C-alpha cells in the first residue's frame, strides 16, 4: 500500500496498492485529507490507520502548509477511507507503533512550524494511544496440551500424524500447523519462524470441516534443529503469536 506523499503540486490524496505477483500498482480510494509526513499503521483487523502529517495547496507551495491532528482508516474490503478520532495535537514526523495490546502508540513529532526563512520546527515529547473500535486478538498457535504452551498441534502433511520426539519433523518436509486468529478471506499470509528461521508458507486458510480453526502449511527450513523443543512462532498482520515447540530430527 502506497498512500499520500508530496509532489510538485502539493500533497497527494491518492492511494495505490502494489500487486506483487503481477508487479503492478492499482489505484484505489483517496484519502479524506491529502497529506505527507504522516504515519500508516497496519492494524490486526487488516485496516490501516493514517495519522497526522502536513498538507498545502499549489498556492501555498512556497510556504509551510497546515499540520494535521486528524486521522483516518483505510478499509481493504472496499478500498475506502473513513475519518476516525483526532489526535490531541497536530503531528508530523512522529512515530506510530502497534502494541501487543492491539492499540497504537503515537509519539513525538513536530506540532508547530515557526515563521522565518528557513522555517524552524518545534518538536514535542508527548505521546498518546489510539484504541481501535474493535480490538482483535493476536494469532494463537494451538498446542497438544491445549494451553498454548509446549509441543504444538503440528502434523506431518503426508501422514497427518502429530510431530513428536518419537516422530520428529525433517528439514524440507511439509507440516500442517493449526492456529486461530486468521481474518476471513485474508490475502495476507502469516509468517512462521522455526528455530529463528523463516519457513516457506505453501498454503493458509480455514481448516476444512472445522469452524474457527485456521491452518498454515509450511516447509521446514533447512538448518533447523536438531532437537526436541525447537521454538515455533507465527506473525500475522504485525502481531506475534504465542510460542510452541516442535521436535526436529
**pLDDT tens digits along 159-173:** 999 999 999 999 999
At residue 64, the pLDDT reads 54
The residues, any chain, with a CB within 8 Å of residue 21's CB and separated by 6 or more, are: none
At residue 8, the pLDDT reads 59
Q: Are 191 and 197 in contact (CB under 8 A)?
A: no
At residue 138, the pLDDT reads 84
Using 50 as the pLDDT threshold, list the residues of the chain that sit under it.
57-63
DSSP calls for 94-131: -EEEE-TTS-EEEE--B-EEE-SSS-EEE----EEEE-
Average pLDDT of the chain to the nearest whole number: 89
Give the CA radius of gyration of the chain: 22
The closest of 48, 132, 127, 56 to 91, measured between CA atoms, is: 127
CA distance 249 to 226: 5
State the cell numbers at 34: 491529502
Amino acid at each position: 500500500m502506497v498512500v499520500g506523499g508530496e509532489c510538485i503540486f502539493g500533497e497527494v490524496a491518492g492511494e495505490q496498492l502494489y500487486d506483487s505477483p503481477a508487479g503492478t500498482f492499482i489505484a484505489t480510494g483517496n484519502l479524506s485529507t491529502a497529506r505527507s509526513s504522516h504515519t500508516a499503521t497496519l492494524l490486526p483487523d487488516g485496516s490501516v490507520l493514517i495519522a497526522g502529517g502536513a498538507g498545502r495547496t499549489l498556492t501555498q507551495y512556497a510556504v509551510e502548509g497546515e499540520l494535521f491532528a486528524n486521522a483516518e482508516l483505510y478499509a481493504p474490503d472496499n478500498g475506502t477511507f473513513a475519518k476516525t478520532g483526532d489526535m490531541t495535537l497536530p503531528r508530523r514526523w512522529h512515530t506510530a507503533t502497534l502494541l501487543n495490546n492491539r492499540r497504537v502508540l503515537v509519539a513525538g513529532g513536530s506540532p508547530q512550524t515557526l515563521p522565518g526563512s528557513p522555517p524552524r520546527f518545534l518538536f514535542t515529547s508527548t505521546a498518546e494511544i489510539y484504541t481501535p473500535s474493535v480490538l482483535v486478538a493476536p494469532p494463537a498457535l494451538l498446542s497438544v496440551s491445549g494451553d498454548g504452551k509446549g509441543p504444538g498441534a503440528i502434523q506431518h502433511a503426508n501422514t497427518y500424524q502429530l510431530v513428536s520426539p518419537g516422530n520428529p519433523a525433517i528439514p524440507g518436509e511439509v507440516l500442517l500447523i493449526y492456529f486461530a486468529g486468521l481474518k476471513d478471506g485474508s490475502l495476507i499470509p502469516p509468517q512462521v519462524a522455526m528455530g529463528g528461521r523463516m519457513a516457506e508458507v505453501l498454503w493458509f486458510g480455514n481448516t476444512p470441516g472445522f469452524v474457527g480453526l485456521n491452518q498454515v502449511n509450511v516447509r521446514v527450513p533447512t538448518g533447523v534443529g536438531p532437537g526436541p523443543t525447537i521454538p515455533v512462532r507465527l506473525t500475522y498482520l504485525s502481531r506475534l503469536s504465542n510460542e510452541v515447540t516442535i521436535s526436529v530430527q
